[in-house]
Amino acid sequence: MRKIRITLVLLLGLNSRLFAQEIPEKHLQKSEIEQVFLTHNLSLMAQRFQMKQAEAAVLQAKLWPNPKISIGEVNLWKNSSSEELPALIGNYGRYQQVEMELEQTIELAGKRKKRVQLQLLEKENAQLQFEELLRNLKYDLRSQCLELQVLQEKERLYSNQVGIFQKLAQSYQNQWKEGNVSEMDYLRIQSESMAFGNKLNEIQQEKIAKMNDVARYLGAKGTALFIADTIGSPAFIANRQNEWKIMAMDNRSDYKIIHNEFKKGQVQLEIEKAERVPNLEVSVNYDRGGNIMRDFIGLGLSMDLPLFNRNQGNIKIAKLELEKNKVEIEQFRIDIEREIDFLSARLSNLESSLKAMDKGFDGKLDVALERYVRNFQERRLTIVEFIDFINNYMENKESILERRAKYLQYSEELTYLVGKDIV
């Protein structure tokens, strides 16, 4: 039973070392990761095609309607009442009748120009949609990178503990065989070593999954990433709520999209009003042998009479859409300001908590750990005192790491809310 436990502990430590050897990690700074993201992210590439489609739609809106040509009343044979006409080609066509008409639609009330304005706004909307996608993906990527950093820090923390307890376990095994320590103390050290090894394995599994999440944003396949940036004491952000609110209104792409929808609504209303004016149809026709004139050329004009349908329903719909857009803009502004106020309060509260912590406390814990390990090896501490300190040490180290990471996460959320880097 003892041999099985010892072998299991050694295998856990060996697996953690083999993991690092199996997948070569690519060390990158967070700024380098963002550059790869901007260049290779497939979602951004797809959105760029939509922007080009919007440009093509503007080109299409500028085009005039095509003229229409029609040919009719062509007879394939003659009868006894046919009159002889001059030949068309050679001797052919002495009894042929034909009618031709060329027709062109002329849009009145500036309909085409207004449609071009609408498509230009659609093009701007495509650009804003791209910026909004970029804002969301960048926030998601930064959040995933931060989570990966936390897992890296925890892996380093638990790897250190696994190393310490593996050395202690080996030492206690030798001393137990010699009868210098009790079996209970030896098994307690082995148990702690196994617990830290299991926790380390769980963290490494989470880290693998998180690396895959980050790699998905980079368009990479099977990339083992290691973020070179470490999580230290965060740079605190000065509280500038009013300034952030103004910045959000100027930079938030989703807020700009709503304003752009209002502009589109205004142009759409102008288009619907213009539709009250019917289009003009201009035509030129030629008739050979079908009238009192042998070769007749005539001009024609046609237009619908707007007696019943003056596009009243669509005009009312467009007006109501504008009113709805006004309400949405105001609600969106209120939501942005409320979110910034809420997040500012959370940042201030967490900042106070971090500032209340003794400067250098993190480093003092590491010095204390070395001292406690040395004293325990020299039998100046009982195993209960040593393990109690280890548990307290790990609790404090993880608490410090999580509070720092939470502050950084709130900072990223604030950047996301404002729509612009604020640090």
The model's confidence at residue 31, banded by pLDDT at 50, 70 and 90, is confident
Q: Do the strands 280-288 and 98-106 form a parallel or antiparallel pair, or are they unpaired?
A: antiparallel
Lowest mean pLDDT among 19-23, 125-129, 172-176: 19-23
**pLDDT of residue 6 exceeding 80:** no
pLDDT digits (tens, 9 = 90+) for 98-122: 899 999 999 999 999 999 999 999 9
Chain-wide mean pLDDT for the chain? 87
Domain 1-64+110-230 CATH (choose: 3.40.50.10800, 1.20.1600.10, 3.40.50.300, 1.10.3720.10):
1.20.1600.10
**CA 189, 190, 192 angle in degrees (round to 5)?**
65
**CA 372, 165, 198 angle in degrees (round to 5)?**
130
Structural tokens at position 183: 């079996």
The model's confidence at residue 10, banded by pLDDT at 50, 70 and 90, is very low
The predicted structure's pLDDT at residue 221: 65
Greater model confidence, 323 or 47: 323
The model's confidence at residue 4, banded by pLDDT at 50, 70 and 90, is very low
Distance CA 147, CA 406 (A): 10
The predicted structure's pLDDT at residue 8: 33
Structural tokens at position 355: 């500032």
Distance CA 230, CA 331 (A): 40
Beta carbons of 347 and 237 less than 8 angstroms apart:
yes
pLDDT digits (tens, 9 = 90+) for 186-224: 889 889 999 999 999 999 999 999 999 898 888 766 567
Beta carbons of 359 and 130 less than 8 angstroms apart:
no
pLDDT digits (tens, 9 = 90+) for 295-328: 888 999 999 999 999 999 999 999 999 999 999 9
**pLDDT of residue 20 exceeding 70:** no
Distance CA 278, CA 157 (A): 77
Kindly state the average pLDDT of the residues 70-92. Answer: 81
Distance CA 69, CA 48 (A): 39
The model's confidence at residue 42, banded by pLDDT at 50, 70 and 90, is confident
Q: State the CB neighbour count (10 A cutoff) for residue 342.
A: 11
Kindly state the average pLDDT of the residues 260-288. Answer: 94
The predicted structure's pLDDT at residue 3: 38
pLDDT digits (tens, 9 = 90+) for 157-190: 999 999 999 999 888 888 888 878 888 888 898 8
Could you state, in order of their start, the residue ranges of all structural domains in the chain? 1-64+110-230, 66-106+277-310, 234-276+313-423
Q: Is 306 left (phi over 0), alpha (psi -120 to 50) or beta?
A: beta
Structural tokens at position 293: 């004139």
Greater model confidence, 146 or 74: 146
Beta carbons of 144 and 392 less than 8 angstroms apart:
no
Q: Do the strands 225-227 and 26-28 form a parallel or antiparallel pair, or are they unpaired?
A: parallel
Q: Tell how far CA 237 is from the center of its chain.
A: 25
**pLDDT of residue 11 exceeding 50:** no
